[in-house]
Homo-oligomer: A and B are copies of this chain.
Amino acid sequence: MPDQKNNYDTRERILDVAERLFMENGYEGTSMRVVTSAAEVNLAAVNYHFGSKEALLCAVFRRRLGWLNGERLRALDVLEEQAGETSPKPSQILEAFFGTLLRMGEDQSLGGMTFLRLLGRTLTEPAGFIRTFFASEYAEVIARYKQALFRALPDVPKAEIVWRLHFMLGAMSYAIAGTDVLQVVTGCELGDLAGESSDVDADDDSALARRLSQRLMPFLLGGLRAPLSLTTPSLTASPASASDGDLQPEI
């Protein structure tokens, strides 16, 4: 059995390199030989310290998700204590959940954008063991935030809230994972999207994370606040959709 001595150096170097390479090439697309040679350790080091390639991926995530979801729970505790008998506002709940994650992207010691991108990409990875792992890692924090949103929006059907939580998670994950995938689709460079932002250096991950957060949070709030569709939106092409009348001209 390992887990005792001065293996910290090798272990952490493997985790850092694996985090980056899994992000760049995917799990199946990253071989142990590439990981170990990039980390400048022996090929057998991963199996010695982690047991297997699957366990390595889980270790990469556990290192970050432990902190993240702990922080999320703590933030929600603070909000609910501040609110007393009442409930925190939906915007505060979203800020606690998504803002905590986006702030990780600004902190290099927490993995920075590398980890955020890896997380976004891995959530769609079909491998079974990954889904099982995420399900257990996320179970508590999702349950807590779902309940908080139910309380904060008592007049909205719970099913609708879950759907929109689902959509918000998707928008965030893609916004992060797709900074170089969908940017190709949208045909824009990062610099073109800076707008009137104060940070101008587009290569800085931290600045990117700040700009992303600045744009994403209003979008998520807008989606969460969208009026309920009481009728089925037109599936035939001809008439305009149901909630058309209240389209605000400013956006």
* Chain A interface residues toward B at CB < 8 A: 23-26, 28-29, 75, 78, 89-92, 95-96, 99, 103, 120-121, 123-127, 131, 134-135, 138-139, 142-143, 146, 153, 155-157, 159-160, 162-175, 177-178, 180-188, 192-196, 198, 210, 213-229, 232-235, 237, 240-241, 243-244, 247-251
Instruction: Give A214 to B250 CA distance when docked, in angstroms.
Output: 25
User: Can you name 24 A-B pairs with beta carbons within 8 Å?
Assistant: A24-B126, A28-B28, A28-B29, A78-B237, A92-B240, A92-B241, A95-B233, A95-B237, A96-B237, A124-B174, A126-B181, A131-B180, A139-B187, A155-B249, A156-B251, A164-B215, A167-B174, A167-B216, A169-B186, A220-B223, A221-B243, A222-B222, A222-B227, A227-B250
Is the CB–CB distance between A124 and B181 below 8 Å?
Answer: yes
Is the CB–CB distance between A171 and B223 below 8 Å?
Answer: yes
Instruction: Give A168 to B168 CA distance when docked, in angstroms.
Output: 10
Instruction: Give A251 to B215 CA distance when docked, in angstroms.
Output: 20
| Chain B residue with the shortest CB-CB distance to A214 | B232
Is the CB–CB distance between A172 and B175 below 8 Å?
Answer: no
Chain B residues near A225: list those with CB within 8 A: 222, 226, 247-248, 251
Q: Which of A26, A126, A139, A153 has the most CB of B within 10 A?
A: A126
Chain B residues near A192: list those with CB within 8 A: 159, 162
Is the CB–CB distance between A89 and B139 below 8 Å?
Answer: no
| Chain B residue with the shortest CB-CB distance to A212 | B163
Chain B residues near A121: list those with CB within 8 A: 124, 126
Chain B residues near A223: list those with CB within 8 A: 171, 219-220, 222-223, 226
